[in-house]
Structure 1
Amino acid sequence: MDKSVVQPVERSRPLQAADERATLNSLLDFLRDTVVNKVAGLTDEQAATRSVPASALTPAGLVKHLTGTERFWFAIDFAAQDIEWPWPDDNPHGNFLLAPEDTLSALVAAYQAECTRSRAVVAAASSLDDMAQGKGMTFNLRYALTHMIEETARHLGHLDLLRESLDGTTGQ
């Protein structure tokens, strides 16, 4: 197996009859795995291609952005961890742009590692009502989880269009 090519991951259907926390976590994990599966099999060149005219979005850029969003919402804003800011100073909330050294496999690995960190932050919280600890933050864990579900789902829609434009691949 070529480690430089992103491989699909097994997804588990979100829980449909569970408590609120388990339901939110399982839905977000399903979406996270779908992100990986949407870019699996693309070459670095394809992943960096702006395949929808007039848009600067690329599959790799979306993965990079979602990595930063996971870090921002869970580790930095919710848990107040003293870790590296996820975005460059000239684009404080974006990070869709790729650096020449970015590869899809490295970006996906960073995304999966950040999702693991996010899961640990969520697991350490005692309740969905726990409040964010970051300076000036006024949201609870429930809001962070639902926001990340929305953010990830929105960008999966973008990935659907980009992937279909690149090689015709469609589906879940």
Structure 2
Amino acid sequence: MTIERADPAYSNDEVGMLRSFLDRYRATIRLQASGLTDAQLDQTLPPSDLTLGGMVKHLAFVEDYWFSYHLRAEEPAPPWDTAPWDDDPDWDWHSAAGASHAELDALLAAAIARSDACLDAALADGPELDRPVARPRDPGKGATATVRWVLVHMVEEYCRHAGHADLIRQSIDGATDV
């Protein structure tokens, strides 16, 4: 598995800049989980119960949730469509326990590919980032995210978890420059 982590260009249009930062942090998370055994993906850094495996699966869910479900108003993809969310609101994190690196990485890679296709479709008529998403999150409150909000939120989501991943990875094998 070869994961490219490119530096974003210093000059780009808004869509290109946001996408390049999102792609960099997507690659960062995948690299943090690479090279570890399946058992190491289940390791925590107490007192937190976060694991790198859970983080990879959570980010696969977040990709589908924002790009497929909200941006394009598509129904959830497997395994999210049958997940027991009522029994465990953190099912995405917890259900990763025991999963292999190959399985988790493939889930995230597929979610990223679907997300990119959804974003490409949403931007096909022009790079209008102020366009509202197809499925409002809080329709009763009048709150509707825009394409820009989704992109910025996803950069924020990955950056926040990249910091967690740095700490967990270092606690597992001492790696600090993955």
Q: Same fold (TM over 0.5)?
A: yes
Equivalent in 67, 76, 80 of residue 73 of structure 2: 80
Equivalent in 152, 160, 163 of residue 169 of structure 2: 163
Structure 2 residue runs of 5 or longer lacking an equivalent are none
Tell me which residue corresponds to 2:52. 59
CA distance in 1, matches of 2:120, 2:134: 15
Residue 155 (structure 2) pairs with residue 149 (structure 1) = yes
CA distance in 2, matches of 1:104, 1:132: 32
Which is worse superposed, 102-111 or 138-147?
102-111
| Same amino acid, percent of matched pairs | 37
Tell me which residue corresponds to 1:38. 32
The number of equivalent residue pairs is 165
Tell me which residue corresponds to 1:131. 132
SS of the residue aligned with 1:24?
helix
Equivalent in 99, 103, 118 of residue 102 of structure 1: 99
Equivalent in 26, 29, 42 of residue 23 of structure 2: 29
Between Structure 1 and Structure 2, the one with more helix by share is: 2
- Could you tell me the TM-score, scaled by structure 1's length? 0.88
Shift of 1:23: 0.2
Instruction: Give deviations 1:95-116, integer Å, cap 9, x for gaps.
Output: 2113565212111111011011
Structure 1 residue runs of 5 or longer lacking an equivalent are 1-6
Q: RMSD over aligned Cα, in angstroms?
A: 1.8
* Contact 2:42–2:54 under 8 Å retained in 1: yes
- Could you tell me the TM-score, scaled by structure 2's length? 0.86
CA distance in 2, matches of 1:162, 1:101: 17
Amino acid at match of 2:28: T
* Contact 1:15–1:27 under 8 Å retained in 2: no
Which is worse superposed, 24-33 or 88-97?
88-97
Instruction: Give deviations 1:111-169, integer Å, cap 9, x for gaps.
Output: 01101111111111232122111153601000000000000010010000000000000
* Contact 2:53–2:96 under 8 Å retained in 1: no
SS of the residue aligned with 1:95?
helix
CA distance in 2, matches of 1:93, 1:19: 36
CA distance in 1, matches of 2:90, 2:158: 15
